[in-house]
Structure 1
Amino acid sequence: MAPFVFATTPRIVFGAGAIARIGALAAERLGPRVLVVTDVGLLRAGLVQPALDALAQAGIAASVFDPVTADPPEALVADGVAAAKAHEATGIVGLGGGSPLDVAKVIALVAGSGEALAEAYGVGLAKGPRLPLLLAPTTAGTGSEVTPIAILTTGAHEKKGVVSPLLLPDIALLDPDLTLGLPPAITAATGVDAMVHAIEAFTSTSPNANPVSKALAREALRLLGGAIERAVADGGDRAARADMLLGSMLAGQAFANSPVAAVHALAYPLGGHFGIPHGLSNALVLTHVMRFNLPACADAYAALAPCAFADCPEDAQALVDRLEALCARLDLPPRLRDVGVPENAIGMLAQDAMAQTRLLVNNPRPVTLADATAIYRAAW
C-alpha cells in the first residue's frame, strides 16, 4: 500500500439542535470575543439568531460580519479582518454555506497571522498561525467544515484557492435543523455538489489517493443518493436532512485528502464568468466529464454505481446514465445554454479551465484544451 496522509477537523459535533451547544464550545476553544461570519440572507431568515443567543448565554461577546456573497471576492477578506481586529476577536465562527465558511477560514488565517493573502494562494503556502475557528454549515454540499481549502474570486473572474492544513477548523458543528426548509433548487444543486466530491475523490489520481478517502466516498454516496430526492421533495424531512449533512461532510473528508479533478476544473470558470452557483456548475458538467473519463476509470465508476443508487448494477455507464436522470428529476437545468452561457464563450471557458492545473492533475484521464472544449460543447 502506498504511503498517505489523512487529515481532518479534529472535533466534529453532529446532531439535531446542536447549534445550542455553540456557546459552550466557543467558550472552551474560541475565547471571550468572536466574529460571526455569515450572510445577510441567513441573518434575515433567523438562522443566525440561535447561535448568537447561545454565545450570549455563555458570556461571549459576538459581532456579526454579514456581507458575504456567492463566489466571494477576496476584498471581503480584508473587510472581515478589519472587523475582527475592531472587535478584538479571539476566535472566528463561520455559519452558512460554502462561501461564508471559506471566508471565515481565510479571515481567521489573515487576522491571526498578519500574512498577505496574495502570498497564501496555492498549496501549502499559508504560514499561520490562525485564530481559533468553528464552522457550522447550513447547506449540505461543500463539506467546507472539514476541508483545508478556501476558494475566493480574484480580479474580475478568476478563482484562486488557499490550500493548507491551517484552514481545517478546530470544531465542525453540524446541526441538520439548520438545513430544514432549504429551497429545493439549492438542496438539489448542493447535494449533487457533494456527490461530485465523493465521485472525484474515489477516482482521484492524486499521489495521496488513499483507502480511507475511498471508504468515506462510498458511504457518502450511499447517504446522499438515498436522501437527496427525499430532501428536495420535503424540506422538512429531518432524517433526509441528517443524511444529506453527514454525507456532505464525509465527502468533504474524502476529497480533502484525495483531491477533486476535472469536474471542478470545468465548473469554476462557469461561476467566475457567469455567476452560476458552484453546485449547479458541477452538475452541468458532471456527466460529460464522466463520459470523457470512462475509458480510464470504468471499474471505479462501476464500483460506485450501487453506492449511489441501491438498485443500480455495478456498471459504469449505468452510473453515468442514472446521475443524468437524477439531475433531470431534481429539475436542475440540463444545458449550459439554459443558464445563459452563450456558445461563443466555450473557447474562453476552456482556456480558463486549463489554468486549473491544481485540479486537472488529479483527473484519471489527461485533459487537453481540445478535450475541455469538446466537454463544454457537449454540455452546451
Structure 2
Amino acid sequence: MNHEFRSVPRIICEAGALQEVGSVFRGLGAQRVILVCDPGIVSLGFAGQAQAVLETAGCEVAVFDQVAPDPSSTLVEQAVKQAQGFKADGVLGLGGGSSLDAAKLVALLINSEQSLEDLYGTDKAQGQRTPLVLMPTTSGTGSEVTWVSVITDAQQRKQAVYSPQLLPDVAILDPQLTLGLPAKVTAATGLDAMVHAIEAYTSRTRKNPISDGLATSALALLGANLPKVLANGRDLEARTAMLQGSLMAGMAFVNASVAAIHALAYPLGARFHIPHGHANALVMAPVIRFNLASAQRHYAELAGHLLQGQHFDNEASAAEAFVQAVEGLVKDSGLEQRLSNLNVDQASLPVMASEVVVGIRRLIDSNPCDMTEQDVEAIYRSIY
C-alpha cells in the first residue's frame, strides 16, 4: 500500500477549450509562447487557431511544426534552439503524443545547462522548466498528464526521460480537436490507451490503489466508446469520453508502470517507424494471451469493467472472456496485424527480442510474468 502518486495540477475538459489557451498562458505569466506541433496540425488549422487565440490574449507566438512520429533527439534539439532564439517563456504542445513529448523536453531545456542526453533515465533533470500547457488531439498516449517523454536517439534506440518537471501546468482536453481523426488513428490511439490501463492494473512493480481506480474507470470508458467513435467519428460525446479515458489511463500507468506490450512495441517504432499506438496494437493480444495464467485474477477483475453487464461463472471464465474481448477489439480495429506487411524483416526478430529483454528490462520486470528472449521472439513470430 506504500506508494507515491504524482499528477498534473490543473485539467480543463470542455468542447471549445482551445479558446481558453490565451488566458491560461497569461495566468502563468507567459508572454512569448512557442507552439510545438507537427505539419498535420498546421494543415488542419489547429495551430493557426491556437496562435490567433494566444495573440488576441497579448502573447507573441513562434511555431515549431516539424515534429515527426517517434521524434528524434536531433529534432528535439532543433526545437529547443528555436525556442531559445525566440526567448520563449512558455511552451504549448499541441497534437499527438510525439508533439507533446517533444514540447515537454523543450520546456525543460530552454533555460537549462543540461544536454538532452543528460536527461535520459529517471530524475536526472535539474532546476525548473518553462511554463507548459499540453493539448492532445488524439485519445491515446495520455502524454498530457505524464512525466515521461520518449524519443529516438541517433542509434535508433528508444530513450525515455522520467522527471516530475515534465508534468505540465495545465492539460487542456478539447474533444472538438479529435473529431476529424481518421479511423485508423482513432483505433491505434484508442487501443494504446487501453494498453495503458491494462498494464497499469497488472503491474508488478508500482501497482497502487489510486492507479487501479483510474485504470478501471479508464478501461470502462474506452471499451464502451471506442466502437462508437470508430462507427461515427463525429460523435462528440464519445470523443469526449475517449479523451477522458485516455487521460485517466495516462495518470494510471505513469504512477504504476507499463510492461511487456510497450517493451515489444518500442523496437517496432524505433527501427521501422510504426506509429506507437499501432505497434502496441500489434503485440497487445498475444502478450495478454501469454500473460493469462499469471494475470488470471487481475484479468477477471478487468472483465467486469470492459464487459459490463456480462455474467461469468468463475474467475477463469471471466479472465478468458477478457482476453477474447481484447483479441476481438484488435481484430475489428481495421489496423494491419502482420509484421511482414509492415516492412519488418524476419532477420530483425531475434535482434529486437534481445533489445527487449536486455535493454528494456524495467518494463519486463513490471509484466505479470517473466519473459525470456525466446518468449519475446516467439510472440514476434506469431504475428509475422
**Do both share a fold (TM > 0.5)?**
yes
1:250 Cα deviation from its structure 2 partner: 0.3
Segment of structure 1 superposing worse, 290-299 or 192-201: 290-299
Contact 1:92–1:131, Cα closer than 8 Å, also in 2: yes
1:30 Cα deviation from its structure 2 partner: 4.8
Q: What TM-score does the superposition give when structure 2 sets the normalisation length? A: 0.96
Q: Distance in 1 between matches of 2:131 and 2:364?
A: 32
Residue type matched to 1:218 in 2? T
* Aligned counterpart, 2:93: 94
Partner SS for 1:8: coil
* Aligned counterpart, 2:284: 286
**1:303-333: CA deviations, max 9, x gaps?**
1113123254451111111111112222122
Partner SS for 1:343: coil
**1:308-364: CA deviations, max 9, x gaps?**
232544511111111111122221222222323233221111012121122112111
* Aligned counterpart, 2:343: 340
1:235 Cα deviation from its structure 2 partner: 1.3
1:147 Cα deviation from its structure 2 partner: 0.4
**1:190-211: CA deviations, max 9, x gaps?**
00000000000000011x3100
Correspondence list, 1:226-305, <5 A? 226-305=224-303
Contact 2:285–2:330, Cα closer than 8 Å, also in 1: no
Segment of structure 1 superposing worse, 227-236 or 189-198: 227-236
Segment of structure 1 superposing worse, 53-62 or 105-114: 105-114
* Aligned counterpart, 2:315: none
Stretches of structure 1 lacking an aligned partner (at least 5 in a row):
none
Q: Distance in 2 between matches of 1:243 and 1:306?
A: 19
Contact 2:19–2:53, Cα closer than 8 Å, also in 1: yes
CA pair 293-68 structure 1, distance change in 2 beyond 3 A: same
Q: What TM-score does the superposition give when structure 1 sets the normalisation length? A: 0.97
User: Which of 322, 325, 329 is equivalent to 2:325?
Assistant: 322
Residue type matched to 1:185 in 2? K
Residue type matched to 1:232 in 2? L
1:77 Cα deviation from its structure 2 partner: 1.6
User: Which of 220, 223, 228 is equivalent to 1:222?
Assistant: 220
Q: Distance in 2 between matches of 1:347 and 1:278?
A: 20
* Aligned counterpart, 2:134: 135
> Is the aligned partner of 1:370 residue 2:369?
no
* Aligned counterpart, 1:165: 164
**1:123-159: CA deviations, max 9, x gaps?**
1111232111000000000000000000000124210
Q: Distance in 2 between matches of 1:293 and 1:173?
A: 35
Contact 2:68–2:98, Cα closer than 8 Å, also in 1: yes
Residue type matched to 1:148 in 2? W
Contact 1:112–1:131, Cα closer than 8 Å, also in 2: yes
* Aligned counterpart, 1:57: 56
Contact 2:101–2:149, Cα closer than 8 Å, also in 1: yes
Residue type matched to 1:260 in 2? V
Aligned length: 378
Q: Distance in 1 between matches of 2:155 and 2:307?
A: 40
Q: Distance in 2 between matches of 1:345 and 1:226?
A: 37
Residue type matched to 1:374 in 2? A
Residue type matched to 1:38 in 2? C
* Aligned counterpart, 1:349: 352
CA pair 320-338 structure 1, distance change in 2 beyond 3 A: farther
Q: Distance in 2 between matches of 1:65 and 1:302?
A: 46
Q: Distance in 1 between matches of 2:81 and 2:159?
A: 22
* Aligned counterpart, 1:40: 39
* Aligned counterpart, 2:304: 306
1:239 Cα deviation from its structure 2 partner: 0.7
Residue type matched to 1:179 in 2? T
Q: Distance in 1 between matches of 2:383 and 2:57?
A: 51
Correspondence list, 1:16-35, <5 A? 16-35=15-34
Segment of structure 1 superposing worse, 228-237 or 19-28: 228-237
* Aligned counterpart, 2:334: 331
* Aligned counterpart, 1:149: 148
Q: Distance in 1 between matches of 2:132 and 2:59?
A: 14
Contact 2:151–2:160, Cα closer than 8 Å, also in 1: yes
**1:58-77: CA deviations, max 9, x gaps?**
00001100110001000112
User: Which of 197, 208, 227 is equivalent to 1:210?
Assistant: 208
Contact 1:30–1:92, Cα closer than 8 Å, also in 2: no
Segment of structure 1 superposing worse, 277-286 or 320-329: 320-329
Partner SS for 1:48: helix
Residue identity (%): 45
* Aligned counterpart, 1:84: 83
1:113 Cα deviation from its structure 2 partner: 1.9
Residue type matched to 1:360 in 2? I
Q: Distance in 1 between matches of 2:88 and 2:155?
A: 31
Q: Distance in 2 between matches of 1:265 and 1:164?
A: 20
Any runs of at least 4 consecutive aligned residues in structure 1 with deviations exceeding 3 A, and if so which?
311-314
